[in-house]
Every structure is written in C-alpha cells, then in structure tokens.
A = this chain, B = another copy of it.
Amino acid sequence: MIPTETIERLTDLLARFEREEIEAEALCDDLEAVRDQDIARAMAGLSTEGMIRVLEMLPSERRCEVFDFLEPGPQYQVVERLDEDVAGALLDTLRPDNMTALLESLTPEQREVVVRLLSPKRARQAFKLLGYPPESAGRLMTPDFISLKPHWSLAHALGHVQEHGARSETVDALYVTDEDGRLLGYIGLRKLVLGDPHAEVESLMTDAAASITVSEDREEAARLIQHYDLTALPVVDDGGVLLGVVTIDDVMDVVEEEATEDIHKLGGLGAKHLSLRGASMLELFKKRIGWLLLLVFLAIFAAGAVSLFEETLETAVVLSFFLPLIIGSGGNAGAQGATMMVRALATGDVGPKDWLKLWVRELGVASALGVTMAAAAWGIGLFYGGTMLANVVFLSMIGVVVFGSMVGMLLPFVLTRFRLDPATASAPLISSIADIGGILIYFGIATAWISATAAA
C-alpha cells in the first residue's frame, strides 16, 4: 500500500521498457492495476523519448490522465516533441489549474509553443487565468464549476448536475448564483440527494459561503479552507461574481510548498522553489551563494569589532578561546527566537499587534536562559582561565543571550511592519548580527574588568 515501493517497482519496469527489454503488451498488462499518479511519478526517471513511448502505449483516456499528473517540466518536453495533433489533444484535456501551472513555469517562447497547440477556447481560458497575479487564488483555481439557480427544484438541480457533472472537478460542493452570476450560497451534493425533490434550492442552501477574491493570496485561500474545514472554496471577483473554485488538494500542496519556502528562507537559502532531486549544481550554487556572500560581508564588521580590542587580546589571549562559545550562544538563542516567531506569524498563531506582550515575555525567558547558560559557562571559564575569566564569561553570556534573543524576536516584527517577509530574518542573519553585538559585549566587559583590576 506504500506508494514508494510501488513506484520503485514501476520505475524499474519502465526503465526496462525504455531499454526495450520488455514488450509494450507485457508492460500494458502490468500497468493495468497501477494508478495514473504512480505511472506519472515513475516516468520521472525516463528520457523524453522514453516518456513519449510510454504515453503512446497507453489507451488515449489514460494517456491524458497520466500526462495531467506529470510535472510541468516533463509535460513541456513531451509536447514539444510529440505530433501536433497528439500534443494538442493532451493539452486540451489538461485540468485548467494544471495548465496555469505549466504555463507559469515556461519562458515566453516556450509558452507560445504551448498556446499555439491549444484549441482557441482553451487558449482564451489560459490567458485569462494567467492574468491574475502570481501566487494569487486566481492562479490556483479551476474555472470549471457547476452553478445552480436559487429557484430551481432539487430535482431540476440534480438533473443539471447529472448533465454537467462529468466535466467538473468539484461536484461535492455546488454553488448557487443569481442571474448575474453573483455567489449566493452553496449546497452539498449530499443535501441535494437526500432532500425533498420538490423543494427549492434556496430553501436548503447555506448562505454566506466563505469565499475569496480572485487576486488575494493563495495562502489566504489555504487559511480559509483550513479554518472552515472546507473541501472547496469559491473564488469571486470584486463584484461577488463567481469565477472559479479552489479545491483542498491544490491548497494542501500550497501549505507544503509555503512551509518549504519558509524553512529554506529561515535556513538562509533563497526562496526559489527547487526540487533537490532534480536541481543542477549551478542552480544549487545560485540558490545558496547569495546569502553566504551577504554573511561574509557582515562578518567584516565582526572582524572590525574584534580588531577594536587588539590590545585587550594581546594582554589575555585566553579570551579568544571563548569567542566561539560567546558569539555562538547569542546567535543560537536569537535563532531560536526568530524561528518560533516567524513560524507563529506564518500560521497566524500570533499577529503583528502582539509584539509588545511577546517582547516582555521574551525578555523574561531570555534572562532566565542567559543566567542558566552563564552558570554552565562559568565553570568552563574557571577551568581554562581562573576566576576573572569565569566572571567575564558569566556576565557576557547573560548579555549576549538577551541581546541575541531581542534581535531574533523583534526583527521578524519589524520586517512584517514594513510589509517584508518575516522569514527573511533567517537564523544565519540573526546569528551574524548577534555575533557583532556579542563581540562588543564580551570584549567590552573584559576590557573594563582588566583595566579595573589593573587600577586596583
């Protein structure tokens, strides 16, 4: 039942078919009991020619389904090389939201190739969907939906569903619209089936369906679907006219993608969505080098900060033993704070208005963390360099942990205030800022202590 096993077996099978070790007929029999999604997933390991051979071997209805489940990259490679007729047929049956995803991923030239293969009707639809902003609900929605009129009888409505239902992705939630197409409410297929056939749709529909406007962010669509436990969310224009439907399975992919994006940003990686399996070395290099260079340049300030205390260091080289500990601890505490804050802001657990309350609490928590860590570090300081060093390490530790935590907690809020993505307050950025502060605090305290001791 675990798809990874099925997919590994299938991948093997398809590879052997590609190397012409098995006949098309034998493969066909083997594929009968396999699901379309698994075939599509297993095809990822084939060359373009191999993919085309597998597709050509499938019965035409299945071919379209399997094609629908391929990733945009392979989809384009396949249609580019196929006969125009076959390619056009495959593209015309692509689900509208998947068509948007395919076109989104292409260069303008490639896009032209695809659009030329489409039927005029599908081409118009594709242009319309692409007109909505990137990452908006409009890009995610399918414009195939069934709408019912409020004064219809349930029997009439059921007849309408039976007639038009085959094409629509979402017959579970049916939407009720007025003469101008404005959304009035929804009715579940279940109510339609279970209700009195003579009753009017209006009497059984639920008004005030949750909905989203077409240009709103797709994350908002995900939040609404999660919050209201929906399986589908209607998408309307500013006038309330129903334009399409976002379904829960698309939204689940959004939740996963956005989580991955946030994780990558927090880890000091570019936001660009990249499959680690398929990425080239150049793509990986480009995704990672930007942040790393930025952090190298921030480290110039850290080097500058240390150089301010050259004299102190020459007096007590032992101070440098503790540099990794002191700056690391500030960075770690800050990164923790930032990580929690960014995620809580992303899931809506806390809002921008909560900053003061959270700041006060963070100050308390950071002080407690600082004192505990300082106590542990005091012992280490005593072992390496005696009481004076232990005391300097103790005081510095409290200072850097509190400083790092404050930076880590407040930066996400500041970024949110300026409408920037709080996930940019990544752990490495917080660490680098905490480093500089930590160096100044540590050597500042050490210098003061040394001169006080010298004076005494």
Contacts and interface: CB of A to CB of B under 8 A. Distances in A.
B1 A292 contact: no
Interface in A237-296: 248-249, 251-253, 255-256, 259-260, 262-264, 266-269, 275-277, 281, 284-285, 288-289, 291-293, 295-296
A380 B300 contact: yes
A285 B365 contact: yes
Interface in A30-67: 33, 35, 37, 41
A224 B6 CA distance: 12
B252 A226 contact: yes
A332 B231 contact: no
A291 B332 contact: yes
Chain A residues touching B, majority SS: helix
Contacts of A275: 344, 349
Given A296-B325, A303-B321, A317-B310, A263 B266 contact: yes
A172 interface: yes
A210 B428 contact: no
B350 A277 contact: yes
B281 A364 contact: yes
Name the interface size band of chain A.
35 or more
Interface in A189-203: 189-190, 193-194
A368 B269 CA distance: 16
B380 A303 contact: yes
B229 A37 contact: yes
Contact of A336 (B255, B267, B293, B331): B267
Contacts of A299: 324-325, 328-329, 380
Contacts of A307: 318, 321, 384
A164 to B, nearest CB: 11
A452 interface: no
A228 to B, nearest CB: 6
A223 interface: yes
A341 interface: yes
A372 to B, nearest CB: 6
Contacts of A262: 263
Contacts of A165: 190, 194
A354 interface: yes
Interface of A: 1-4, 33, 35, 37, 41, 158, 161-162, 165-166, 171-172, 189-190, 193-194, 208, 210-213, 220, 223-231, 248-249, 251-253, 255-256, 259-260, 262-264, 266-269, 275-277, 281, 284-285, 288-289, 291-293, 295-297, 299-300, 302-304, 306-307, 310, 313-314, 317-318, 320-325, 327-329, 331-333, 335-336, 338-341, 343-344, 347-351, 354, 358, 361, 364-365, 368-369, 372-373, 376-377, 380, 384, 401, 427-428, 431-432, 435, 439
Closest 9 CB pairs of A and B: A267-B339, A259-B259, A299-B325, A276-B344, A302-B324, A320-B320, A303-B321, A306-B321, A229-B249
29 contacts: A1-B212, A2-B220, A3-B224, A3-B227, A161-B194, A162-B193, A251-B252, A252-B255, A255-B256, A260-B343, A263-B343, A267-B339, A275-B349, A277-B354, A289-B372, A289-B373, A292-B332, A292-B333, A295-B329, A296-B329, A296-B376, A296-B380, A299-B324, A303-B384, A306-B324, A307-B384, A310-B317, A324-B327, A332-B431
